[in-house]
Structure 1
């Protein structure tokens, strides 16, 4: 039996009626008002002649009407193409050409072109198309079905247990799958969603306190930004003492052992749950809960319900337990494929397995640790080195808050290792003595050839820490290496 996320959300709206569904900037939407606004949009789309499974650009920036717009497309039988409201016109134009969308919702419904898009088999019963650049290349549109995302949300909730009387702070953008499922799961279960359009450490922490937030989803970059400030420590203590915040859901990029420890120390009354997944797998394939963190800090956890994994070598053969290989995932929740990219879709899979491109190893039964990206392996003097291993060791230094490693082409060694360090507040670079530290922890050929210090990790287009941006800064001469003792 097929499922439509719009029908599920609309049913929740009818069930919870006068309860507060959304709030932003001191304004609120009840569930009834959310449903009514969505039905107005949907009626207009139907009047304009939207066809089943037709893609619609939906401009979002965590405003309350954005949720109504998403719901309306599903109620009208369409497929949402979420795009952030701040995106340049050139980006919107490329998306329109790529998806052949003729409608865009940006508070009102705009007609972009007159031509009706062709019917595409890959969009049948699709809920959304989210464009992801992966590690390189032009953005690819991952097509996720209603059935896959609904069932994945169900499996997520079996682990996280969202409840009707809870309040979720949404600071993740809903044009990405992490923000989208946090939004939908909160509303499916009758909770209240407090929406912030952008992340600011002070506003964020004030919202946790004043809005009595039960749960929040974040990317590690946000938490690093919070811990870089001395003026928020007392506020964090109050949040921790209040014991209202039950869960911090962390995903989108590698959390890292050092940051995880800092979060757990400062939010000791809150469960930190690290989540690993990708848009192509409908997100949330692995969860690291507190009990596993105690024994295996730095891992991505164990697979969620109905998710299978394997770790293989370059010939797609299983590696031995504990050996490093590519992590591949299989589940009923995988994407239909990349929109109009059959070749790329085929390359993304080995048989039933989605090739994540991440290097990993199994450290306990069904417990996995990431070691970096397969395309990011550094080849230095014939030695193959994973950036993740270097980053983990550097982050074990008591003065380091975060680290990033990349390989930069070198005429002699093939590649040299460049490492970026973000120091903890109050740390003095001259006191690092990083060479001495690394000599006790890491083989000599894995030591960075150059090191840099910045106040934060470079961010890419999606707001995540991005090795490509770091490499660009090196190659352009925008940053200078430090003298390392």
Structure 2
């Protein structure tokens, strides 16, 4: 890493020139930034704040007596979580031979053991590899082999899938609430723990997570994020919230333990961020076995949850429930993200939870280690039709069709440069070279920057359906459906639907004499694809619209089904 002068490049005037923010971003402030060069890429990074994720773990010692995780009546303090994580680290290091840089996987539903095993792996310097808990056996098997995972923490359902696929050689299975593993989780947590001085001391740019994102070629790609990326993400989020309070003139509220109702899966970057950031302020994580709005509101009241929200479908269920206004006394933040946010939800959140609630939206990807653009509070209310402004350490540019940067207002591919950008894709040099260029990550999304610096995302270049916050790449689904004996041609598009944002719709040209139905196609795909990827709608057509070069004209297909909704067969 080389420090150099970039003549104040990139920092938006809205941050740099606002005198109210000087105590935060000025010299000596907690969010002061400096120009740095990482692997030849000029960036801005925070001068202060935690340097590594393990530094954040150590901060949890200040909250020993506070409840850290809540799950179905089980309550665990920070002291208990810290002790168990250090015991897991000891066993990983001494018994299972895990060394810095080795991959340790996690495949389970949201459980307290998720938090403990995550930290246990980080404490020995492993690259934590969370796997999608909805994946089928072949999908899990591919990721385990691709990442060369040496130890996998998994619950019973995931253990059955891994064993059914024929587990990779050399993989140790740690059974969580199951006797199907090679070693029970309780055996690891009962061991003698390492002490804080024995925690792995990694560099800022060493990798710490490998998160798989669905791939356009039918195989998921693993995005590798570093200590720098993770800590920059957390510090940017903290600044966004504090800045909004200053801009809005919010009076400080009673100091109390933050508590989050975890409505999304922990294998997502949002769940990972929740785990890693919680020791900073002693946050309580309230978990659910499965999403249920009645249970969610009961827990939110009982645990005095301060942070609510989720993907738009979940957020809407919360805001439309008659009991939600009673939570306004405790709820301070309401986040909406993971998919395009309907503008009406922003005003609805303020209406239901009161004017002091801070509504939050972040735009980013797994490859950008969560949000690199944020829209918070009063600015979100004033600009609900965009995703916000770039973070303090993020640069954004929009590229035209010729690859040249566009001026303000020009619509093109949105690209990011930030310390949060991942190092690239695991074991995939070609995909890395395509998406990570000269320090910039090409998002595949289409948008423009307005004259106030707000980013508007208007379309996606990648052929992807976002269903309830999960990315479904159309080519992956198409590849499976093409093998159905009754399908001559098929294309997959997103069908707009208010609950989940989009549903997966298969547009099928049947073979002569064949009449494949939606349930038949879903059953056929279920053996190969996670359930959220399986088609939920079917439109049968005699011929697919094509371009002059013979490719399927996806825009024409979308327009066709939008204008002819009566012929769509739905599975819900």
Instruction: Calculate the TM-score normalised by the size of structure 1.
Output: 0.73
Deviation at 1:375, TM superposition (A): 3.6
Give the corresponding residue for 1:249.
Answer: 335
Deviation at 1:215, TM superposition (A): 0.8
* Residue of structure 2 aligned with 1:200, choices 281, 289, 292: 292
In the alignment, is residue 219 of structure 1 matched against residue 267 of structure 2? no
Give the corresponding residue for 2:126.
Answer: 78
- Aligned pair in 2 of structure 1 residues 40, 418: CA closer, same or farther (>3 Å)? closer
Q: Is 1:168–1:186's contact at 8 Å kept on the other side of the alignment?
A: no
Give the corresponding residue for 1:456.
Answer: none
Deviation at 1:476, TM superposition (A): 8.7
Give the corresponding residue for 2:327.
Answer: 239
Give the corresponding residue for 2:538.
Answer: 473
CA–CA separation in structure 1 for the residues paired with 2:281 and 2:205 = 27
In the alignment, is residue 266 of structure 1 matched against residue 358 of structure 2? no
The number of residues matched between the two structures is 399
Deviation at 1:339, TM superposition (A): 0.3
Stretches of structure 1 that go unaligned for 5 or more consecutive residues are 117-122, 378-386, 389-405, 407-414, 424-460
* Residue of structure 2 aligned with 1:150, choices 206, 213, 231: 231
Q: Is 1:104–1:112's contact at 8 Å kept on the other side of the alignment?
A: no
* Residue of structure 1 aligned with 2:364, choices 260, 265, 277: 277
Range with bigger deviation, 79-88 or 327-336: 79-88
Give the corresponding residue for 2:99.
Answer: 51
Deviation at 1:341, TM superposition (A): 0.3
Give the corresponding residue for 2:382.
Answer: 295
CA–CA separation in structure 2 for the residues paired with 1:114 and 1:416 = 38
CA–CA separation in structure 2 for the residues paired with 1:277 and 1:238 = 32
Give the corresponding residue for 1:351.
Answer: 438
Give the corresponding residue for 1:94.
Answer: 142
Stretches of structure 2 that go unaligned for 5 or more consecutive residues are 2-49, 173-203, 243-252, 467-473, 475-490, 500-528, 543-560, 568-572
Give the corresponding residue for 2:526.
Answer: none
Q: Is 2:125–2:208's contact at 8 Å kept on the other side of the alignment?
A: no
What are the Cα deviations for residues 77-123 of structure 1, in whole angstroms up to 9, with x where unaligned? Answer: 2111112445433222111111111211236999953389xxxxxx9
Give the 3-state SS of the residue equivalent to 2:257 in structure 1: coil
Give the corresponding residue for 1:131.
Answer: 212
CA–CA separation in structure 2 for the residues paired with 1:318 and 1:279 = 24
Give the corresponding residue for 1:482.
Answer: 566
CA–CA separation in structure 1 for the residues paired with 2:531 and 2:414 = 24
CA–CA separation in structure 2 for the residues paired with 1:125 and 1:79 = 9
- Aligned pair in 2 of structure 1 residues 416, 167: CA closer, same or farther (>3 Å)? closer
What are the Cα deviations for residues 369-411 of structure 1, in whole angstroms up to 9, with x where unaligned? Answer: 110102459xxxxxxxxx99xxxxxxxxxxxxxxxxx9xxxxx
Q: Is 1:177–1:282's contact at 8 Å kept on the other side of the alignment?
A: yes
- Aligned pair in 2 of structure 1 residues 368, 85: CA closer, same or farther (>3 Å)? closer
Instruction: Calculate the TM-score normalised by the size of structure 2.
Output: 0.63
What are the Cα deviations for residues 177-234 of structure 1, in whole angstroms up to 9, with x where unaligned? Answer: 011112322232212221223211111122222211111341112124446xxxx632
5 Å-filtered alignment, 1:104-115, equals 104-106=152-154, 113-114=169-170
Give the 3-state SS of the residue equivalent to 1:284 in structure 2: strand
Give the corresponding residue for 2:63.
Answer: 16
Bigger relative contact order, structure 1 or 2 (CA pairs below 8 A, ≥6 apart): 2
Give the corresponding residue for 2:46.
Answer: none
CA–CA separation in structure 1 for the residues paired with 2:86 and 2:109 = 20
What are the Cα deviations for residues 140-170 of structure 1, in whole angstroms up to 9, with x where unaligned? Answer: 0000012211122112112235976221111
Q: Is 1:348–1:355's contact at 8 Å kept on the other side of the alignment?
A: yes
What are the Cα deviations for residues 414-438 of structure 1, in whole angstroms up to 9, with x where unaligned? Answer: x999964549xxxxxxxxxxxxxxx
CA–CA separation in structure 2 for the residues paired with 1:206 and 1:16 = 25
